[in-house]
Chain A
Amino acid sequence: MRINKHSNGLLSIYFTAGYPTLDSTVRIAKALEDAGADFLEIGFPYSDPVADGPTIQHASEIALKNGMTLKVLFEQLKDLRKQVSIPVYLMGYVNPVLQYGVENFCKACKEVGVNGTIIPDLPMYEYEELYKNTFEEYGISNIFLVTPQTSEERIRKIDELSTNFIYLLSSNATTGKNLEVKDQAEAYFKRIKDMDLKNPFIIGFGISNHETFRKATTYANGAIVGSAFVKLLAEEDYLENIPAFIKNIKG
């Protein structure tokens, strides 16, 4: 499946690799696909996740304590494509990628069948100047973020650089805050929709239930649930609860 401009009502789930246990990553991905998730973001943990609220901060901390690293993650994802067929994106902060080596990272993504990456603290300028060629060489799509403060000029530039989808932040927030769909937010979603970008856009941050999912997908091609799902992973029998969770959101 490829996310495109005609997609609608797509549900993506974010979870942190190595949480709640080191080897839970692929199991959770498989369970999400079986339950009806349309694509996935697997987070690679970082010690200083400044764009994240308490839930994902906590998951990252536990994942690091469990021994998760990019090296371990790519090892675990070797079998990914035997079990999971929906698109998978890796999401995390830029420093672990730089230390792994950008080329090694893109190469490893390609080898395990990861479709793209979301790296919020990799600026567009640095991407374009330093890394774009490498990403393209390995066919890895880098996903850029748009917030209510992003200028139209920058959104157009992002649209030009994007090869997969654009990640629209629901509001000015770190992860895990509940989206309050106010007139202001709707006006912002509508503004983006009316720009008629060449790439599909998916709304994330603050999507936690059917209502917020429905609201977001009225405007966007899909929506992403992160913290609300990561909270579920704290439950003992989380694997069994995944189908009901997905069903509730999709409605």
Chain B
Amino acid sequence: MEDPSFKEEFEQLLKDYVGRPSPLYHAKRLSERYGANIYLKREDLNHTGAHKINNTIGQILLAKRLGKKRIIAETGAGQHGVATATVCALMGLECVVYMGEIDIKRQAPNVPRMKMMGATVVPATSGSKTLKDATNEALRDWINNPVDTHYIIGSVVGPHPYPDMVARFQSIISAETRKQLLEKTGKETPDIVMACVGGGSNAAGMFYHFLDDEQVKIIAVEAAGLGVHSGKSAATTALGKEGVLHGSRQIVMQTDDGQVIEPYSISAGLDYPGIGPQHAWLFKSGRGEYVSATDDEAMQAGLRLTQLEGIIPAIESSHALAHLEKMEFMGGETVVICLSGRGDKDLDNYMKYFGL
């Protein structure tokens, strides 16, 4: 990853193909509502509509250097699947995406996008038929095809070096934010950075270059589903304990016997019973504040952003926005929220929810 020719290729593609840097947008009407200076890091404006492509570009370049012929991936919301199918089309590599059967239904628009780019979408039919199960199937595929296949994991989960590698590819988000903030406010660091967390990749990227600035408050928002204690939730830090899932030690929602509990969230991208190891550490050490937003709170926040700023966010990102309602500002704090994805894939869900 540190090889200059690799970096050059990676950065060129991020610029010309993904459209980076993504804007840091001062959301004026949102800021007025909450009495803070709120900036949105517009990962939704990337090619393919989310932050996921930052990582897939990096990993596809690695896969090519490793001489791999076939790419596999898991996907929840379908954004990582689309981002993987996209880079496979770009590089002319075979692509197989595992996606939970339930997610195939609730994130339907992303399925034909992957297929059109030549990917095979394989439904994961075990367990809760969502992201965790798609990850299981992808891992099984990789065990059967370790020589010619590279597994592009989409989040900061999985065995080493994935959490570290994915976080580094996503760290472009906070690297750009620092520069953009300096230009806009004369100061590189905000008071608060916020992002939603499922496995935790956009949050890892948003927090990365602020970790050592102790004065920057880090807030991660998990999906509480129908409520943290409703039995239908994906609020991992509130409900889980230390354990091993998908090859890393992290926080896992599990029974006393160590069986993984099926999570639930309206948002397919956050519907995961673990949280990557770096997040587990930020939580445990107290460096990060881990909170949650329910389905209802997220949906309302999504609608609010749409009507105040003319931006339809992905339901995942709406969880981060929802937390604003619960925060108290002294006035004038600078807040950066990672708007990890756009809501095109979620229109059906928004329409049903609001009866539009």
Contact = CB atoms under 8 A, between A and B. Distances in A.
B140 A174 contact: yes
Given A48-B245, A99-B257, A149 B127 contact: no
Contacts of A93: 244
Interface of B is mostly: mixed
Interface string A70-90: 110000000000000000000
Interface stretch (B53-61, B143-151, B183-191, B336-344): B143-151
Contact of B254 (A53, A70, A95, A100): A95
Contact of B258 (A50, A95, A149, A173): A95
B247 A121 contact: yes
Contacts of A46: 258-259
Contacts of B144: 172-174, 177
A232 interface: no
Nearest to A57: B126
16 contacts: A46-B259, A47-B259, A48-B136, A51-B143, A69-B257, A70-B257, A70-B258, A95-B258, A97-B258, A98-B243, A98-B258, A99-B254, A99-B257, A121-B244, A147-B146, A172-B145
A95 B245 contact: yes
A64 B254 CA distance: 13
A94 interface: yes
B256 interface: yes
Contact of A173 (B139, B143, B244): B143
Interface string B4-18: 000000000000000
Nearest to B141: A174
A75 B323 CA distance: 47
Interface string B252-269: 101011111000000000
B132 interface: yes
Interface in A58-74: 64, 69-71
A124 to B, nearest CB: 13
A48 B247 contact: no
A9 interface: no
A100 B259 CA distance: 11
A46 to B, nearest CB: 7
Nearest to A172: B146
A177 B126 CA distance: 19
Interface in A1-50: 46-48, 50
Interface in B219-257: 242-247, 252, 254, 256-257
Contacts of A139: none
A96 interface: yes
A174 B247 contact: no
Contacts of A64: 259
Interface in B132-176: 132, 136, 139-140, 143-147
Contact of A100 (B126, B132, B143, B258): B258
A149 B143 CA distance: 11
A100 B257 CA distance: 7
Contacts of A71: 257
Contact of A172 (B126, B143, B260): B143
A76 B44 CA distance: 55
Given A50-B136, A50-B140, A174-B140, A99 B256 contact: yes
B63 to A, nearest CB: 17
A64 B127 CA distance: 12
Interface string A109-152: 00000000000010000000000000000000000000101000
B244 A94 contact: yes
A95 B143 contact: no
Interface string A193-207: 000000000000000
Contacts of B244: 93-95, 98, 121
Nearest to B242: A98
Contact of A48 (B127, B145, B146, B147): B127
A174 B139 CA distance: 10
Interface string B106-143: 00000000000000000000110000100010011001
Nearest to B256: A99
A91 to B, nearest CB: 15
Contacts of A52: 140
Contacts of B259: 46-47, 64, 96
Given A121-B244, A149-B147, A174-B140, A48 B257 contact: no
Given A47-B127, A48-B136, A95 B243 contact: yes
Q: Which of B242, B257, B260 has the most CB of A within 10 A?
A: B257
Nearest to B139: A50
A70 B143 CA distance: 26
Contacts of A121: 244, 247
Given A95-B252, A177-B144, A48 B243 contact: no
A47 B126 CA distance: 10
